[in-house]
Amino acid sequence: MSEYFLEMRNISKNFPGVHALKNVTFLVKKGEIHALVGENGAGKSTLMNILGGVLQPDGGEIFIGGQKVFIRDPHEARRLGIAFIHQEPTLFNFLSIARNIFISNLPVSNAGRIDFNTLYDRSRELLRWVGLDRDPRILVKDLTLAEKQMVEIAKALSFKSQIFVLDEPTSPLTDKEVENLFRIIRELKAQGETIIYISHRLNEIFEICDSVTVMRDGEVIDTTPVRETNKMELVRKMVGRELSMMFPQGNDRKEGETVLVVENLTREPYFRNVSFSVRRGEILGIFGLVGAGRSEVARTIVGDYRRNGGRVFLEGREVYFSHPREAIAHGVGFLTEDRRGEGLAVEMEVYKNISMAMFWHGLRQGFSLDLKREKEVAEKYVHDLRIVTPTIYQLARNLSGGNQQKVVVAKWLSASPKVLIVDEPTRGIDVGAKAEIYHIVADLAKRGMGIIFISSEIEEILGMSDRILIMYEGEVVAEIPRQEATQEKVMYYATGGEKVHVS
């Protein structure tokens, strides 16, 4: 028998257009706490979802305790003793705590009746263990986020498991609750159970884990014992690659006067007291890991989310957008990260997509629309942005990811904004198209537009931005000019290194 308890060998997984896992081999010893780290999109969650039976691999083998296993659904994963604590709670708000804990193995007596005595007794036991002082009969909807997380953990403990996967379990927890969670993890380890711990908080990894595996771009880079490495080294491995030549070289942009100012913008629970400004011709990068609040800031500026406090100034005048439509009308465009869901009407023609954002002021002609101009504008952008499509009448869904993204860019350009916010503009598109998008964005800045470039890919943030704002857990923790920014430095702040202001 091999020295490893869990072996995932040569696992590969493809999503349309993305090679999410490339021959990944991930090995975990019995009874260790094994950290899994990597940038967003490195493939950690995909790998764990395969272990949890949520996704099926395209290739590769999995062995548990030397036995080859096929995990075809979450039910099978549970039978094999794999307990999964998901990043986002998988609880049912309108069921009681007890029923949530035992949802997968409700104790049943005769005639299909739930054995309530056993259910409540065992729930109380588990709640005591995880340190949650609540009546198991109350509904989950009445709990706080942190309490829900504890229920989630109780759920994972409710059946005999040998492998516990914790995917970012501490994000909603306070320090005290994190300590409590670590106590539980240590107890599990003492019982000889195996734990896989995914976290962005590197400090936690050094506090509790035995080994650490770094993933990057769908591959395992390295596995080492935690005591033989350090934070800087981990960050270097996570970030890895050299800055390629993908980005527009040489900054010949002239920065103009300030166009957008954000002061103490707050939207609970996502972010608070966020302040920054953008000049004409400048690209301001906003970097942060999942849950840092990057996208939410953008959504709040354009009025998709209501703000709790703070002010926004456009060209010196205070503005309040209560709907993205108003933001467009005032010249603030927002390119959303969810291209297919929100940015593009995939069942509509290319030209309709491009003209969509200008309906409100650009094309109106009395009560009707200037349809001829609509098509002229579309033709112009298809040409300017080199959108590869047979005609402007092609349905957007038939275009490649990169060309779809260009259509979305064209849509915002047709509304001729003064400020353009781009949120993860290159997600899920191939390398060539990425480079084109970078050049288009840089070109827009050159023409005097103020750009806010939001991304969780450290490489493009460094390649594109004139200034980088780093967010961690809803706060701006650092602001670094391009010349001083390095991958390590940015990653250091983004993983909660220290809250200092570098200027």
Partner 1 sequence: MSRRASVSRSRRGLGSIFVDYGIYTSVVLLFIIFGLFLPRAFFSLSNIRNILISASTIGIMAVGMTFVIITANIDLSVGSAAYFAVALGVLAMKRAGLSPVVGLLIILLAAVGVGVFNGLQITRLKMVPLIATLASMGIFRGFAFQFTDAASIYGMPPLISRLGIGYVGNIPVAVILLLACYLLAYYVLEKSRFGTYVYAVGGDREAAFKAGINVPRIVFLVYLLHGFFVGVSSLILCARMDGVVPALGVGMEFDVITAVILGGTSFSGGVGNVWGSLMGALIITLINTALTILNVSAFYYDIFKGSVILLAVILDTFRQRRLGIVT
Question: Contact positions toward partner 1, by CB under 8 A?
Answer: 52, 54, 73-75, 77-78, 84, 86, 90-95, 99, 103-104, 106, 108, 112-114, 141
**Residue 92 Cβ vs partner 1, minimum distance, rounded to whole Å:** 4
Our CB check for partner 1 shows the closer of 31 and 74 to be 74
Neighbours of 416 (CB within 10 A): 13
CB of 268 to partner 1, least distance (A): 13
75 vs 183, beta carbon nearer partner 1: 75
Alpha-carbon distance of 353 to 356, in angstroms, equals: 5
- Closest distance of CB 53 from partner 1, Å: 8
Q: How far is the CB of 420 from partner 1 (least distance, A)?
A: 28
Pick between residue 94 and residue 367 the one whose CB is nearest to partner 1. Answer: 94
By C-beta, is 118 or 251 nearer to partner 1? 118
Residue 73 φ/ψ, nearest 5 degrees: -160, 170
The CA-based dihedral angle spanning residues 422, 427, 432, 433, taken in that order and rounded to the nearest 10 degrees: -50
Q: Which residue number, 54 or 178, has a Cβ lying nearer to partner 1?
A: 54
The answer to whether residues 55 and 46 touch, using CB atoms and an 8 Å cutoff, is: yes
Q: Which helix (H) or strand (E) holds 183?
A: helix 175-190
**Closer residue to partner 1, CB minimum distance, 18 or 106:** 106
Supply the minimum distance, in Å, between the C-beta of residue 161 and partner 1: 13
Q: How far apart are the C-alpha atoms of 313 and 37, rounded to whole Å?
A: 39
Query: Measured from the CB atom, is 112 or 316 closer to partner 1?
Result: 112
Phi, psi of 480 (to 5 degrees): -125, 130
Q: How far is the CB of 78 from partner 1 (least distance, A)?
A: 5
Mutual orientation of helices 231-239 and 487-494 as an angle, nearest 10°?
A: 110
CB of 108 to partner 1, least distance (A): 5
**Angle between helix 175-190 and helix 145-157 axes, rounded to 10 deg:** 10
Please report where in the chains the tokens 């460094």 appear, as a residue: 462
Shortest distance in whole angstroms from residue 106 CB to partner 1: 5
Give the integer Cα–Cα distance in Å for 343 and 359.
15
**Contact (Cβ atoms closer than 8 angstroms) between residue 454 and residue 295:** yes
- Cis peptide upstream of residue 225 (ω within 30 degrees of 0): no
Q: Which two tokens stand for residue 180?
A: 């409590």
Cα-based distances in Å from 495 to 165, 205, 241, 477: 21, 12, 19, 10
Structure tokens at 323: 């709907």
Nearer to partner 1, 114 or 319 (CB): 114
Distances (CA, A) of 39 to 66, 168, 215, 470, 491: 30, 13, 8, 15, 9
For residue 474, give Cα distances in angstroms to 119, 275, 292, 300.
38, 12, 5, 13
Question: Is 45 or 455 the residue whose CB approaches partner 1 more closely?
Answer: 45
Nearer to partner 1, 103 or 369 (CB): 103
- State in angstroms the smallest separation of the CB of 114 from partner 1: 6
For residue 413, the number of C-alpha atoms closer than 13 Å in the C-beta half-sphere is 20
Neighbours of 361 (CB within 10 A): 11
- Find out whether 210 and 33 touch, Cβ atoms under 8 Å: yes
Min CB(156)–partner 1 separation in Å: 11
Shortest distance in whole angstroms from residue 145 CB to partner 1: 13
H-helix or E-strand containing 223? strand 219-225
* CA 434/CA 460 separation, integer angstroms: 9
Q: Which is nearer to partner 1, 112 or 341 (CB)?
A: 112
- List the one residue out of 454, 436, 453 whose CA is nearest residue 445: 453
